[in-house]
Amino acid sequence: MGGAAQHPARQARRLGPRGLTVPELPEVEVVRAGLHPAVDGATVARVEVLDERSLRRHDGPAEDFVARLTGARLGAPARRGKFLWVPFDSADDADLALVIHLGMSGQVLLREPEAPRDRLTRILLELDQPSHGPVRVDFVDQRIFGSMALDRLVPVLDDPLERIPTQVAHIARDLVDPLFDDDGFLRALAKKHTGIKRALLDQTLVSGIGNIYADEALWAARIHYAQPARTLTRPRARTLLAELRLVLGRALAEGGTSFDSTYVNVNGASGYFSRRLHSYGREGEPCHRCERPIVRERFMNRSSFFCARCQPLRGA
């Protein structure tokens, strides 16, 4: 039997979540892709809620979550930005989906049904997958900022054939979405008086970009994080868009970014993009272009990393 037909949890490793790596688009997409063979076409045999705090985005008590999810047949997982959801695949519940948000430290792990539980497991799903047999999905979360919830699917305004959960309807498309409107994004950017990094983190403008990939793309485009977005010329803004897509694509190819075991894929493996970072997390290390030390400055209760020589604040 080939690799594609192996049990989804067979290669899982146990890694206890420690430290902090906030999942962004590449990390959530890696989880979505890893979940696909396990959940698509599967039936939920059993649900166990071990910590009701992980249902904070669910409209109802834990008993409601368990009752409505148990017995449901699931479809192919989908994603927008940092949100992940699994639609129900049955005529009776075609407008429902299981919405998963990883928060700051959430993990969705595939396990053999008899595997020991991680002590930080908050929600447990036992699935009957026709192609692979029983498989367990563990939602593990150290800081309990992530969540699972059942939500209603609604049509998307710019594509009536597409449906998304109501919890996701307020965020913009992301840069790997084929329907992302580049020109619309550039027009909106030209009206922003905020710094360019703050604009990139605005999920109503473009979703899925967080601290890591904003810093990396701004370094690649040679743009200071505080440069007012409206001051970017159209060519520089297009260059930034291209660099954002390149950074996200490279991170996806490396399985995302892991500095610790907080972020892992569904099999418990870390991502390796941290080895290719040019600015984020490299305070005091030489810039890969000019060898000046990378600078770290406080930004929105977090940090920005940049090269003062390669990324000057123009007009300041």
> CB atoms < 10 A from the CB of 18, how many?
11
pLDDT at 295 over 50: yes
> CB atoms < 10 A from the CB of 14, how many?
12
Per the model's pLDDT, the better-predicted residue between 258 and 191 turns out to be: 191
pLDDT at 252 over 70: yes
pTM of the model: 0.86
Per the model's pLDDT, the better-predicted residue between 191 and 4 turns out to be: 191
- Domains parsed from the chain with CATH numbers: 3-165 (3.20.190.10), 182-306 (1.10.8.50)
pLDDT at 9 over 80: no
* pLDDT one-digit tens code per residue, 164-198: 999 999 999 999 999 999 999 999 999 999 999 99
pLDDT at 263 over 70: no
pLDDT at 62 over 80: yes
Per the model's pLDDT, the better-predicted residue between 252 and 45 turns out to be: 45
* Residue 82 annotated in active site: yes
Q: What pLDDT sits at residue 267?
A: 72
Active-site option among 10, 18, 292, 302: 302
pLDDT at 125 over 60: yes
Question: Cα separations (Å) of 159 from 162, 164, 180, 285?
Answer: 6, 11, 11, 46
* Residue 302 annotated in active site: yes
Q: What pLDDT sits at residue 18?
A: 31
- CA 228 to chain CA centroid, nearest Å: 26
Active-site option among 23, 37, 77, 165: 23
Are 9 and 125 within 8 A, CB to CB? no
Q: What pLDDT sits at residue 201?
A: 96
Which residue, among 280, 277, 287, has the nearest Cα to 303 in the 3D structure?
280
Active-site option among 24, 126, 216, 254: 24
pLDDT at 4 over 60: no
Q: What pLDDT sits at residue 148?
A: 97
Residue type at position 105: S
* pLDDT one-digit tens code per residue, 142-155: 989 999 999 999 99
Average confidence score pLDDT of the chain:
88
* Band of pLDDT at residue 13, cut at 50, 70 and 90: very low
Q: What pLDDT sits at residue 16?
A: 31
Q: What pLDDT sits at residue 203?
A: 94
* pLDDT one-digit tens code per residue, 218-228: 999 999 999 99
Active-site option among 80, 82, 122, 198: 82
Q: What pLDDT sits at residue 271?
A: 62
Give the CA-trace dihedral at 197, 193, 226, 263, to 10 degrees.
-20
The pLDDT > 90 percentage for the chain reads 75
Q: What is the mean pLDDT of residues 120-134?
A: 95
